[in-house]
Every structure is written in C-alpha cells, then in structure tokens.
C-alpha cells in the first residue's frame, strides 16, 4: 500500500493470474467484499477512484544493461516481484553506481556515454542485479505455493533465520539493500 494525499492510497494486490482475472470481472461491490475479506477492515470504508488493472508479475532481466549511449537502470534493467522492496533497492544501487561511474569518467576527461564507461557500470551492477533478481524470484515461488512438502521446510528455514543471529543480520542487511559492492552515495559518501 502506497499512501497518497487526500486520504487516498494506491494498493498492489498480488494474486494468481486466474483469480486476478476473475476479480477484474466482478462488480465493484463484490470486489470490495473480496478486498475486505483479504485485507481486513482496518482501512474502513473504501472507494475505487481509478481503474483496476492487472500487471503480470514475473522475472525479466535485460540481456544488456547498455546499448549505444543508453544505459538501463531500475525496472528497465530488471523487473522482479515487488517483494520487500528489492526492486527499489536494485534501482537505487543502479542510479548511484551509474552516477559514480559517470562522474569519475568526467573527472578523467572520458566520454561519459562511451561503450567503455557504460560497460564499467554494467559490469559493476550485473552480478548483484542477477543474483538478487533470481533469489527474489526463488523466494516468491517458494512461499507462494501450498506444496505440502515445502511447507515444513519453509518453516524450518525461517525458524533458523530467526534463531541464528548471523543469518538474521545477513537477511536484514540484504533485504535493506546494504550488502554487496555499494556505490559511495549509498555509503553516505560524496562523489
């Protein structure tokens, strides 16, 4: 849920594709009933002020993070399920890395849009983008099914993460985007 002005909010509701299509076709009253059943009544009375739409969630990774004098960053370079803000974290890292590479190239008198400069950015960000995207996609598939074999394994894994401080700290730092080869801006340093 993204709070907006005037007591409004934008809601992202993740469902299976089949259920999402079915919800798109129901009258607003039935849609609201399903919504309140799913999310509870803590929002109070809700009203639809814009169109409902379906956006299929899935993993997409650009083959190249730059072409010619154009660099891809954020969602244009990697589309992932909006779980725990990982897409935002990747996008912020991309922006900070590109800024650092471009500013350093300008200081050295290089052409900031050259293949050489943009490839430095792409090499820097590629590993983190791919591994985080694949891990996020794996977590979505692991936790978004009702497989009776996986259920106890999920519980065991989450229990271990919660009980073992080293694992817990790693997952918290990683989920917060504070791991890996961080650009200086994300470390609070000037460029």
CA angle centred on 181, ends 175 and 185, rounded to 5°: 85
Q: What's the domain range around 39? A: 1-56
pLDDT digits (tens, 9 = 90+) for 78-115: 999 887 778 899 999 999 999 999 999 999 999 999 99
pTM: 0.70
Instruction: Answer yes or no: do 154 and 85 share one domain.
Output: yes
> Are residues 137 and 115 part of one domain?
yes
37-74 pLDDT, tens digit each:
877 777 777 788 888 888 777 899 999 999 999 999 99
Same domain? For 39 and 80 the reply is: no
Cα Rg, the chain, nearest whole Å: 21
| Residue 1 shares a structural domain with residue 46 | yes
pLDDT for the residue 112: 98
pLDDT tens-digit readout, 88-97: 999 999 999 9
| CATH number of the domain encompassing residue 88 | 3.50.50.60
Looking at the structure, do residues 70 and 164 belong to the same domain, yes or no?
yes
CA distance 167 to 161: 5
**What would the mean pLDDT of 154-163 be, rounded to a whole number?**
70
Distance from the Cα of residue 78 to its chain's centroid: 9
- Phi/psi of residue 135, each to 5°? -65, -45
């Amino acid at each position: 849920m993204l709070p907006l002005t005037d007591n409004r909010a934008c809601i992202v509701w993740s469902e299976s594709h089949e259920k999402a299509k079915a919800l798109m076709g129901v009258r607003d009253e039935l849609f609201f009933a399903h919504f309140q059943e799913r999310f509870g009544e803590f929002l109070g009375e809700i009203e639809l002020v814009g169109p409902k739409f379906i956006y299929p969630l899935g993993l997409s990774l650009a083959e190249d993070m730059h072409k010619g004098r154009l660099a891809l960053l954020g969602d244009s370079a990697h589309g992932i399920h909006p779980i725990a803000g990982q897409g935002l974290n990747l996008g912020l890292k991309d922006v900070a890395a590109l800024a650092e590479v471009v500013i350093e190239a300008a200081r050295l008198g290089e052409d900031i849009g050259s293949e050489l400069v943009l490839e430095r950015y792409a090499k820097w960000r590629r590993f983190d983008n791919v591994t985080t995207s694949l891990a996020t996609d794996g977590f979505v598939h692991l936790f978004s099914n009702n497989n009776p074999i996986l259920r106890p394994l999920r519980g065991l894994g989450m229990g271990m993460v919660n009980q073992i401080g080293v694992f817990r700290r790693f997952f918290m730092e990683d989920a917060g985007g504070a791991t890996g080869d961080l650009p200086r801006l994300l470390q609070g340093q000037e460029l």
